[in-house]
């Protein structure tokens, strides 16, 4: 078989839906698994949807996710949009001459025709069809204009589109790798517009010409394109080209089993990135929405995905996006991640939430790194760190609830309080090790142990009943703050 060549062909709309990330990923994985090439092509023929900077955003999202293309549009070292490969240009708006050449072939062979119908006429036809309960479609008004009529209209400058001339009552068949054999009758299809009034091709025309010229062997894309595929297949036939293998991926669904849409919150790669999900976590999770590995494995590095992925195991039905599972997977990567990296990612959230001033970020970096080291076990994504750091700030102690207050009324608390102050004053630089030693020696000397010792100390030092490992917390707080807090507790929270 010839070399596998797949493509991801986004329309740059300004944000990358999580479903697009998965489409890109499956294309990439399939190429890697088959030793083929993965191409990125920009489909920007809908000029009315042009969004400034959208291509850059999309490419940055791909780069962040680690989904690198071998050919096509990519960012260069300086972050500028560039194109690499022998089948370019890879941006459709730069390929207009190519589409002109190919549409001419279809026109010459009578497989496409000029249509001069005005919008008003088309609207009228559609309304009438709707009234009669028919499916609205083009009525073929311009299908059989004579050469002379067409020539005259063109010369007089009448605006036109070019449509595909579908044969009547003709069955178009194709096999989808996920859904199997699919058939459509041309009687149910419209004479698709191939070239628009602005001279740009429609998606349907450009996609076929480009996939053919770029030697694409497998078209892996979202299932919303299934109903367009017969038109594409017919175009391949009309040109006498071999069609690629079609692989339509089921949608990613929300918990109500509807297509995951922007209105329900986080659906863009950018949304997850902004919350501090790690690319490894998001990619690992997204790979599993709609594809099931042979073994019962859930954690996959990109390398492992490259080795395990197969189209045969892509499911026919839509996968539900499960934030809890995403969090569980991301938490795994958080635990593994380097403290330095996580601290860099965490700093902007700490500044945003007012825990660290922007001007102090350098001097507070090591302090943050210590918090990160303790807390990364407890959080699913970086932003969540701000929900847990308040215990590390301030010299006062705020009790989190009445249970804490009641705990501080227990008989042993004054002794524990006094002992902690004394022993902490005797330590040199407080760290987790001698912090632990302080607690142990109190246990030994005063016979205060277990919950009485640990929870009591924790409440007096942090105001909370539960939290990260206490000696580690003591190290992050440092001797001075620990003593100040205990003094505060003595003056304000303990019975005199």
Kindly list the catalytic residues: 262
Q: Which is nearer to ligand GLU, 244 or 435 (CB)?
A: 244
Distance CA 334, CA 281 (A): 8
CB of 351 to ligand GLU, least distance (A): 36
Distance CA 258, CA 354 (A): 38
Q: Which is nearer to ligand GLU, 220 or 334 (CB)?
A: 220
# residues near ligand GLU by CB under 6 A? 8
Site string for ligand GLU, 154-193 (x = CB under 6 A): ----------------------------------------
CB of 84 to ligand GLU, least distance (A): 20
Tell me the chain's radius of gyration from C-alpha atoms: 32
Q: Three-state SS across 379-405?
A: CCCHHHHHHCHHHHCCCCCCCCCHHHH
Site string for ligand GLU, 14-53 (x = CB under 6 A): -----------------------------x----------
364 contributes a contact to ligand GLU by CB under 6 A: no
Distance CA 289, CA 225 (A): 19
Whether the bond between 89 and the residue before it is cis, its omega within 30 degrees of 0, is yes
SS3 content of the chain, % helix, strand, coil (to 5): 50, 10, 35
Q: Which is nearer to ligand GLU, 234 or 349 (CB)?
A: 234
207 contributes a contact to ligand GLU by CB under 6 A: yes
> Looking at 9-17, 154-162, 174-182, 386-394, which segment touches ligand GLU (CB under 6 A)?
9-17
CB of 47 to ligand GLU, least distance (A): 14
471 contributes a contact to ligand GLU by CB under 6 A: no
93 contributes a contact to ligand GLU by CB under 6 A: no
> Phi and psi for 327 in degrees, rounded to 5?
-65, -40
12 contributes a contact to ligand GLU by CB under 6 A: no
Kindly list the distances between the CA atom of residue 411 and the CA atoms of 406, 414, 478, in Å, as whole numbers in the listed order.
11, 7, 27
Site string for ligand GLU, 215-234 (x = CB under 6 A): ------x---x---------
> Looking at 5-13, 48-56, 280-288, 399-407, which segment touches ligand GLU (CB under 6 A)?
5-13
Closest CA to 11 of 314, 225, 283: 225
Largest CA distance in the chain: 109
Distance CA 183, CA 105 (A): 26
Q: Which is nearer to ligand GLU, 203 or 392 (CB)?
A: 203
11 contributes a contact to ligand GLU by CB under 6 A: yes
> Looking at 3-11, 149-157, 184-192, 465-473, which segment touches ligand GLU (CB under 6 A)?
3-11
Closest CA to 355 of 372, 337, 340, 333: 372
10 contributes a contact to ligand GLU by CB under 6 A: yes
9 contributes a contact to ligand GLU by CB under 6 A: yes
Q: Which is nearer to ligand GLU, 10 or 230 (CB)?
A: 10
CB-hemisphere CA count at 13 Å for 415? 13
Q: Is the separation of the CB atoms in 11 and 46 below 8 Å?
A: yes
276 contributes a contact to ligand GLU by CB under 6 A: no
Within 10 angstroms of residue 62's Cβ, the number of other Cβ atoms is: 25
State the residues that interact with ligand GLU by CB under 6 A: 9-11, 43, 203, 207, 221, 225
């Amino acid at each position: 078989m010839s070399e596998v060549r797949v493509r991801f062909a986004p329309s740059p709309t300004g944000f990358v839906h999580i479903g697009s990330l998965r489409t890109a990923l499956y294309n990439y994985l399939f190429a890697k698994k088959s030793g083929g090439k993965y191409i990125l092509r920009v489909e920007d023929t809908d000029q009315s949807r042009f969004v400034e900077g959208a291509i850059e955003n999309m490419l940055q999202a791909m780069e962040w996710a680690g989904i690198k293309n071998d050919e096509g549009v990519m960012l260069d070292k300086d972050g500028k949009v560039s194109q690499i490969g022998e089948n370019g240009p890879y941006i459709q708006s730069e390929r207009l001459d190519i589409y002109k050449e190919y549409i001419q072939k279809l026109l010459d062979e009578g497989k496409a025709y000029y249509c001069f119908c005005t919008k008003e006429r088309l609207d009228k036809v559609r309304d009438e069809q709707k009234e009669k309960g028919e499916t609205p479609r083009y009525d073929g008004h311009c299908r059989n204009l004579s050469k002379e009529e067409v020539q005259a209209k063109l010369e007089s400058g009448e605006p036109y589109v070019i449509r595909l001339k579908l044969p009547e009552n003709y069955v178009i068949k194709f096999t989808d790798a996920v859904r199997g054999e699919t058939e459509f009758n041309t009687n149910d299809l419209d004479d698709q517009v191939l070239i628009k009034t602005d001279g740009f091709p429609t998606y349907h025309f450009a996609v076929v010409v480009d996939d053919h010229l770029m030697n694409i062997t497998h078209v892996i894309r979202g299932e919303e394109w299934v109903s367009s595929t017969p038109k594409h297949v017919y175009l391949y036939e009309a040109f006498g080209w071999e069609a690629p293998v079609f692989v339509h991926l089921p949608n990613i669904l929300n918990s109500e089993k509807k297509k995951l849409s922007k209105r329900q919150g986080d659906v863009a790669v950018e949304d997850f990135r902004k919350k501090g999900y790690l690319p490894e976590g998001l990619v690992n999770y997204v790979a599993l929405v709609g594809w099931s590995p042979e073994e019962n494995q859930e954690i996959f590095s990109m390398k492992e995905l490259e080795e395990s992925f197969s189209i045969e195991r892509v499911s026919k039905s839509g996968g539900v996006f499960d934030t809890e599972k995403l969090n569980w997977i991301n938490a795994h990567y958080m635990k593994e991640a380097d403290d330095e990296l996580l601290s860099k990612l965490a700093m902007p959230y700490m500044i945003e939430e007012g825990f660290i001033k922007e001007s102090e970020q350098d001097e507070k970096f090591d302090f943050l790194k210590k918090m990160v080291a303790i807390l990364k076990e407890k959080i699913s994504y970086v932003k969540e760190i701000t929900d847990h750091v308040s215990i590390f700030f301030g010299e006062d102690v705020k009790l989190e609830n009445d249970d804490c207050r009641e705990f501080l009324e227990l008989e042993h608390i004054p002794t524990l309080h006094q002992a902690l102050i004394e022993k902490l004053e005797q330590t040199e630089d407080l760290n987790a090790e001698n912090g632990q030693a302080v607690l142990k020696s109190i246990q030994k000397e005063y016979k205060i142990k277990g919950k009485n010792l640990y929870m009591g100390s924790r409440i007096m030092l942090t105001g909370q009943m539960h939290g990260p490992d206490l000696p580690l917390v003591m190290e992050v707080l440092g001797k001075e703050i620990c003593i100040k807090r205990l003094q505060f507790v003595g003056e304000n929270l303990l019975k005199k």
